[in-house]
Structure 1
Amino acid sequence: MRAARIARVVAAASLVVAALTACSSDSGSDPVIEPSAVPSSAKPTPPAPSPEAGQHDQVGASAFTEYWFSVLSYGVQSGDVELLRTVSDPKCTECTAAMGVIQDNYNDGGSLQGGVYTVREANTIENFAGQVMTVAVSYDRSPRSGTSPLGQPRGRLDGKSFADCDVRVLWNGKNWVVRGVDAAEQLI
């Protein structure tokens, strides 16, 4: 029994050494792609809004804003910007810029890894006659990197914890859309 346990430990150690050797490079200047940055074969699924996100009130504005960030994460992970386009006002320059970053990385066969947003808090702080509301958001973003169609690294955005922004949402008569994002730091 002891011999079997030792054999398992030696086998596991051999796998770790083999994995580390395969990841090493002769040149110290080559970037290292972190294991979490390796593309997954699993396709992300589009997020669904909570029932509260459809309410025409302050709670709905906050819930919708959280949903918008999950849609942004989905776009970064999948390359699909159609849902993001649907939940964003055409006049939202930050939304258009985010869609551009996603499309620039996926349209030639490349991809993005990471860049997942987690909303810590979303509170409606301004209400303009129920039609436009401002939602103060605190969020985290995991590190994001891009790869070319040939797997070469291209671009990296550091992760961020406790980032803040204000999101303006507009009630278009049937649901919310993001009208704009005011952030002191790069959103995407």
Structure 2
Amino acid sequence: MIRSAVAPLRLGALGLAAILLLGGCSGSTGEPNAEAAENSPSSPSSSESTSPMESAAPSATPTPTAAYKPATAESPAENVPLPVMPDVAKEQSKEGLETFGEHWFDLVNYGYETGETSPVRAISAPDCERCESFYADVNEGYVNDDWIQGGHLRVISRGTQFIQTPEGRFQLILSIRQDASFNRGPNGKIYHEAAADEESSAFIMEATYVSDHWVVNLVENM
């Protein structure tokens, strides 16, 4: 299996600036005194009196994004960005499957850092055994105030012949290397640790294209 035990296999608004126009114009009232005042040299010119005044428009300030912080020996990761599936990964094509497979592993890494397994569940079949092992490992790694540090899975290469199996699946071969991992708890507690892979491992992924998206059915070591 993807190394675990429990080795990791844990989204403001911009204001719209409003411009307020204050307009004023003067005109003759028909009374002599008013007409004289209007034509008096001391009276403001027509252009001055009718010029609208704009209030200063407040500048829009983008809401700052909280900085990502990886897990350390003292605390779990913070503000981990959720990987966004590339558009090509939604295509039923050779390139689409390859990109989708790499994205699946990106979501596994997100699970290691956050304890969230729902993104992987959303694109994996209920009978995917390796997926179930991943869910269990992450859940155990984030019991109470525990967390997982490291264990990042790096896709070194991937490829497919894009030939459909009798079960209607497409196979993808990936070369994966995993970083060192630690299952940690408060006060320096370490429940499990595993060294980084010295060499990459080969994995086979089988996925089915359902309606308009891929679903992972199987992930196994070769």
TM-score (norm. length: structure 2): 0.62
Higher relative strand content: 1
Query: Is the CA contact (8 Å cut-off) linking 1:58 and 1:127 kept in structure 2?
Result: no
Q: Is it true that 1:64 corresponds to 2:81 in the alignment? A: no
| % identity of equivalent residues | 19
- Within 5 Å, give how 1:102-181 maps onto structure 2: 102-128=138-164, 131-160=168-197, 161-181=199-219
Aligned to 1:182: 220
Cα distance, 1:107 vs structure 2: 2.9
Alignment gaps of 5+ in structure 2: 1-70
How far, CA to CA, are the matches of 2:133 and 2:77 in structure 1?
27
Gaps of 5+ in 1: 1-34
SS state at 2:127 partner: coil
Which structure ranks higher in relative contact order (CA pairs < 8 Å, sequence separation ≥ 6)?
Answer: 2
- SS of the equivalent of 2:81 reads coil
Q: Is the 8 A contact 2:76 2:148 kept in 1?
A: no
Measured on the aligned residues, the alpha-carbon RMSD in Å equals 2.1
How many corresponding residue pairs? Answer: 150
4+ residue segments displaced more than 6 Å: none
TM-score w.r.t. length of structure 1: 0.73
Q: Which entry has the higher C-alpha Rg, 1 or 2?
A: 2
Alpha-carbon separation, structure 1, partners of 2:77 and 2:101: 29
Paired position in structure 2 for 1:4: none
Within the alignment, does 1:52 sit opposite 2:99 as a pair? no
Greater helix content: 1
CA distance in 2 between partners of 1:38 and 1:170 (Å): 41
For 1:60 and 1:162, how far apart are their aligned partners in 2? Answer: 23
